Amino acid sequence: MKTSFKVLVLGFIIGVMFWGGFNWTLELTNTESFCISCHEMKENVYMEYQNTIHYNNRSGVRATCPDCHVPKEWLYKIKRKIQASNELYHKVLGTIDTPEKFEAKRLELALHEWQRMKSADSRECRNCHDEESMDYTKQGRRAIYAHSEEAKKTDKTCIDCHKGIAHSLPANWEQAAKDAGL
């Protein structure tokens, strides 16, 4: 009785440690500095992102890489993290380790991202931009029309209209997105 209790307690403690360690690793890999520790991420997409509103703006609130690319909800997050181990594999292969290789593969990567965002109804954007809290009357003339009429009429989600919000777009993106129904 006593030993089995001890085992249970020990098991519990080890469990907590693993769980904590697991979540700790998750958090550690959920930072911008982790993302740009790979030059593939730093030299292309990070450079472009620095010129955009989510890096530098009047209010000083930033959206970092994982804010847009890694879901917040646990289950989706784990799913994305497992997918992301593919990046490690391609890192070893050197799939995009030069600017030329990156440019050549960029459209494909962008299409993955659009697909992911569209199928989740732009969940990551909505984590910060709550449609309900958007005061259309305070927006610009073009945004008012797009958000309150065009988006409602055509059932569009954020990423349908805001492609290239954080990075530069590849040359034939418009046709490719259309062909893929994105």
Partner 1 sequence: MKKRFVPLSFLMLLLATTLTLYAEELQSLRGNTPLSEESMPAENKPWAKDSEPIARNYVQQPPLIPHLVEGYVVNIKFNKCMSCHSWTNYQQNRATKISQTHFKDRDGNDLATVSPRRYFCTQCHVPQVNAEALIENTFKPVEAVSQ
Q: Which of residues 149-178 bind partner 1 (CB under 8 A)?
A: 150, 164, 168-171, 173-174
The count of other CB atoms within 10 Å of the CB of residue 155 is 7
- Compare residues 27 and 150 and give the one whose CB is closer to partner 1: 150
Cα-Cα-Cα-Cα dihedral sign, residues 132, 113, 160, 137: positive
182 binds, among ligand HEC, partner 1, none (CB under 5 to 8 A by kind): none
Binding positions for partner 1, 42-101, rule CB under 8 A:
51-53
- Compare residues 17 and 149 and give the one whose CB is closer to ligand HEC: 149
How far the first Cα of the chain sits from its last, in Å, is 61
Residues 96 and 38: their CA atoms lie apart, in Å, by: 11
Minimum CB distance to ligand HEC, residue 11 (Å): 32
Residues 182 and 177: their CA atoms lie apart, in Å, by: 5
153 binds, among partner 1, ligand HEC, none (CB under 5 to 8 A by kind): none
Q: To which H or E segment does residue 151 belong?
A: helix 151-154
- Compare residues 14 and 86 and give the one whose CB is closer to ligand HEC: 86
Residues 53 and 172: their CA atoms lie apart, in Å, by: 24
174 binds, among partner 1, ligand HEC, none (CB under 5 to 8 A by kind): partner 1
- Compare residues 1 and 75 and give the one whose CB is closer to ligand HEC: 75
Count Cβ atoms within 10 A of the Cβ of residue 160 and give its class: 0-12 exposed, 13-18 middle, 19 or more buried.
Answer: middle
Minimum CB distance to partner 1, residue 170 (Å): 6
SS3 72: coil
Span interacting with partner 1, options 16-24, 29-37, 69-77, 141-149, rule CB under 8 A: 141-149
Residue keyed to tokens 């990551």: 124
Residues making contact with partner 1 (CB under 8 A): 51-53, 140-143, 145-146, 150, 164, 168-171, 173-174
